[in-house]
Structure 1
Amino acid sequence: MTHVLIVGSGPTGLTLAIELARRGVDLRIVEKSPEPPTGVRGKGLQPRTLEVFDDLGVVDEILATGREYPSLRSYQGDQVIWEGRMDELREPSADVPYPNLIMQPQWRTEQILRDRLAELGHEVEFGAEVTGFEQDADGVTVTLGSGERIRCAYLVGADGGRSVVRKQLGVGFVGDTFEDERMLLADIRTGDLDREHWHVWGSPAEQKIYFTICPLPNTDIFQLVAPYTGDDDLIALVAEHAPHVRIEEILWRSEYRVNIRMADRFRVGRVFLAGDAAHVHTPAGGQGLNTGVQDAYNLGWKLAIGTEALLDTYEDERMAVAAHVLGLSTRLYREQANKRGDDTNQLGLAYLGSPLSVGERGGERLGALFAEQRGTGFLLLADTETKYPFTVLPPLDGQEGVILVRPDGYIGYHGDESGLSAYLSGFGIAAPLADAER
């Protein structure tokens, strides 16, 4: 019996698979597509996601092959009319080791994650489509298109906005799809633009963007994005507004409809939803991919421990975050805001009010001791003689009480040590070691 079956091999599913694999949890990850996708799609990795990728052991490769976002250069025809940045570049610090948004084509992010998963002994099973499942008190039986039936303790649907898992669960997907608001995306080659700027054509007077062309790091490819106006001839569109730019080749293209939706449940029994299967966003602010990675990072350690009280907190914590992020990305989209920074970097997201968050700082991101947090365990900051089954370090300067940091870097408990044992046992996490175990 497989402990966890993950459906979908995008960044969400892959992050969850790595998180489980490094904990020794038996898993399978299946993907209906016959091979990995090639399109750029999402390309922005937020600072909080980079912290997660540090913990998962992939951030060095992400940074080596990606880059900070280039400056914007706006044109009318072939004349530059404005230059500037969508974000403010910042230097790393002790509490924010990765302060800047990193551009990385999604296909490469997924490749790096697949390689890390392979190092941990697991491979994505491509061409494996889930056609149905049934759950009972003891597990879930999943049927694949091949006829194979897989028995698992838990099923996670990370299979995108059209999630088969969500649909079969009967979970509502509340929100709107704006059929008349569409975007065209294409990966193109051109030799007529420099690769140090994100090139933009539009009408400042009308506050209208005709299209943008962005260079992708460590490739010879640009990503073209344009509002769909009924004419999908991208070569003609570019020729009309930028006659000096010739598209030499269109390598991949897709049409995107503006969707703003969230599932009304993230958990039904032994089945969980994560990433786009649980929430879909406008592209504004670069939130969708990153929120899915955070879903997986939240869920992975809870599935590994597996107590009901702990698993119940996934829906509580991540639904609140998804609702907040949906509101943010929708506002940025409606305002056509290009700025990126504290609102979008996801460093300020917290689990305040969660049953897992106790005490004055409960639910906050610790924002310190990143090297010490790497790995799968809890971290206790306390001056104590009691033996605990996780790493114990001295308190932070000015710290009052004890602080227990969850494996995902958020503070679970902050208060008197006398209350810590009850907190731990209440979620079935761990307990102080008895004298005979010390």
Structure 2
Amino acid sequence: MISSEVTTGPSAARTGVLIVGAGPTGLTLACELARRGTAVRIIEKSPEFHSGSRGKTLNPRSLEVFESLGILPALLAHGRTDLLLRKYRDGRVVTDTDPFAVLGPTPAAPYVRGLFIAQWLVEEILRTRLAEWGVTVELGTELTGLDQTEESVIATTAAGERMAAEYLVGCDGGRSTIRKSLPVAFDGRTEDGRLMILGDVEAEGLSRDYWHQWLDEDGAILLCPLGERSFQLQALAERDELGQPVAPSLESFQRIFDRHSGMPDIRLANPTWISTFRVNERMADRYRVGRVLLAGDAAHVHSIAGGLGMNTGVQDAFNLGWKLAMVVAGAARPALLDTYEEERLPIAAWTLDTSGERWRGVQRSVKEAGRGTEDVIRPETLALGLGYRWSSLALELDGRGSEGGAVGGEGARGERATDDGLLRAGDRAPDAPCLGAGGTVTRLFDLFARPHFTLLGFGESTVGVLRATEAQYGDTVRPCLIADIAEGLSDHEGHARRAYGVTGDAVVLVRPDGHVALIAPADATRAVLDYLGTLRS
């Protein structure tokens, strides 16, 4: 438990942001801050990097996040999008299913398939990228004291080092000691009836083209290929004669496999990671207490159904990173950080509801031939439709021939409202290919990947607002004219206008995390300048 008292000693080493926990959430946040020039330290209690596969799927929205960070090619080179789900019953194959077969990429959403990749590898790729910005993870560094002043957070480590930071972010997992040191409730429930076991094993002779799933009346075992040799094993724990769970081991893995698979020639070997878990559905009631914030599993935990855990943490970090960077740089008022909780806490509530619903659905259907885990892969679990229409940062004016005003109400549990299908302020900003000078293709995602707001001007009449915005906020906003003139991008196939629902001339302000901030008429210079001004004052 972290003490709230700070030990006396030398002056604390000061940084902009101190991140506690070097999993995918903490590393994504550190990358977001480092690439914006924010002074950041990231510490990890463990003396060595985690090696287990744990979370094993990145959803399409996380792939977009990682494309912005410049690591998508490395992830795609080490992961897979082509795995089939192979179901067995009584030792026989009953179905081979491609859970993403009904989905196809579009210019607005180039990634629609999940990427199967071990979490330890995601972390390694993130650490490599972070090191390119001059930041490395400080292993074996445990916080034992934490206090806040009006200007900073003071943390003390087990080794006696004192660290001062303008802000501290707890990314230290479901058992977060940072969260436990704060006046934050972590309410929810634990499913007591089922103890799950996990492990990374080798299975020589088992095809690596399938996620193998043996389902019987008395249980199940799943083996998903990850990396070059390993499979992630999932199963219900064995029970002894008294009904108590048996500690997982290679021997218990083999017994469960033999009982369900009907493949006596397959021997499991080389268990590099073994773990257990019970399904917890809990979330923090606050994400910010003064200068301390929570993200990832420290803020919410839920079932594994839908593969939303690692992804929700990554997307927490993407939402928080630009806001922290602007506040620390003095480019935004501290109140901007309140919008992190305003936007992400409802997403956590939606995630718990969705994941829990999928988990209970799988328990009901998993014994039916051809059904089971593929039921958890639905369009909503891709996270492309999640947005923040209720946010105070979402402003919509009459820019496309429809009535507007501040956006609120719809989708206040995280799901995208389905009123008219039109893109709204708060939604994820779509991609689209355009043509630049010399006929080179420029994707909108290429523009959004830069660490700033992007002001899209659809039509020549938006030149005035683009120039005025750049003149006043050129350090924060980059303008982009979409019009068939020399200085503009050509929407040669109309994909950009269709994706943004623009038929006439209009401006769309896109946040650094790729969500729509504002939609306004072509001459709404004052509205755009006022919006950006409210971030600073």
TM-score range, shorter chain: over 0.9
Match of residue 277, structure 1, among 298, 301, 308: 298
The 3-state SS of whatever aligns with 2:29 is helix
Q: 1:432 corresponds to which residue?
A: none
Q: Which residue of 2 aligns with 1:373?
A: 448
**Partner of residue 222, structure 2:** 212
Q: Report the more deviating stretch, 131-140 or 72-81.
A: 72-81
Residue 425 (structure 1) aligns with: 533
3-state SS, counterpart of residue 256 of structure 2: helix
Contact 1:8/1:29, CA 8 A, preserved across alignment: yes
Aligned counterpart in structure 1 of residue 391 of structure 2, from 354, 370, 374: 354
Residues 69-78 or 231-240, more deviating: 69-78
1:57-76 aligned at under 5 Å gives the runs 57-76=70-89
Tell me which residue corresponds to 1:41.
Answer: 54
**Post-superposition shift, 1:195?**
0.6
Aligned twin of 1:434: none
Cα shift readout 1:69-99 (whole Å, capped 9, x = no counterpart): 5111122343212222333264432111212
**Does 2:431 correspond to 1:412?**
no
Q: Give distance in 2, aligned partners of 1:180 and 1:344.
A: 26
Aligned with 2:121: secondary structure?
helix
CA distance in 2, matches of 1:419, 1:182: 55
- Shift of the 69–136 alpha-carbon distance from structure 1 to 2, 3 Å rule, reads farther
- 1:110 is matched with 123
Task: Please tell me the residue identity of whatever aligns with 2:223.
Answer: I
Residues 316-395 of structure 1 correspond to what in structure 2 (within 5 A)?
316-336=342-362, 338-339=374-375, 340-359=377-396, 360=404, 361-368=424-431, 369-382=444-457, 383-385=462-464, 386-388=468-470, 389=474, 390-395=477-482
Q: How far did residue 367 of structure 1 move?
A: 0.6
Q: Is the 8 A contact 1:176 1:260 kept in 2?
A: yes
Contact 2:85 2:374 in 1 (8 A): no
Aligned-partner SS, 1:181: coil
Contact map agreement 2:336 2:535 (CA 8 A) in 1? yes
TM-superposed CA distance for 1:180, in Å, is: 2.6
Structure 2 equivalent of residue 305 of structure 1: 326
Q: How far apart are 1:43 and its partner, in Å?
A: 0.5
Distance 1:209 1:84, change over 3 A: farther
8 A Cα contact 2:224 2:233, kept in partner? yes
- The one-letter amino acid paired with 2:341 is E
For residues 171-320 of structure 1, the aligned pairs below 5 Å read 171-203=184-216, 206=217, 209-216=219-226, 218-229=227-238, 230-231=245-246, 232=248, 233-242=252-261, 243-244=263-264, 245-306=266-327, 307-320=333-346
What's the CA shift for 1:209?
4.5
The alpha-carbon distance between structure 1 residues 185 and 252, as it changes in their structure 2 partners (threshold 3 A), is same
- Residue 181 of structure 2 aligns to a residue whose secondary structure is helix
Is 2:67 aligned against 1:54? yes
Which residue of structure 2 lines up, in the alignment, with residue 6 of structure 1? Answer: 19
Give the aligned residue type for 1:282.
S
TM-align CA RMSD:
1.5
Runs of 4+ in 1 over 6 A off after TM superposition: none
Matches within 5 A, 1:155-170: 155-170=168-183
Structure possessing the higher relative contact order (Cα contacts under 8 Å, 6 or more residues apart): 1
Amino acid across the alignment from 1:393 = C
Q: TM-score, normalised by structure 2?
A: 0.77
Deviation of 1:175 after TM superposition, in Å, equals 0.4
Secondary structure class of the residue paired with 2:123: helix
- State which drifts further: 83-92 or 116-125: 83-92
Answer whether contact 2:469 2:528 (CA < 8 A) is retained: no
Structure with max Cα Rg: 2
1:180 match: secondary structure: coil
Counterpart AA for 1:384 = V
Runs of at least 5 residues in structure 1 that lack an aligned partner in the other structure: 430-438
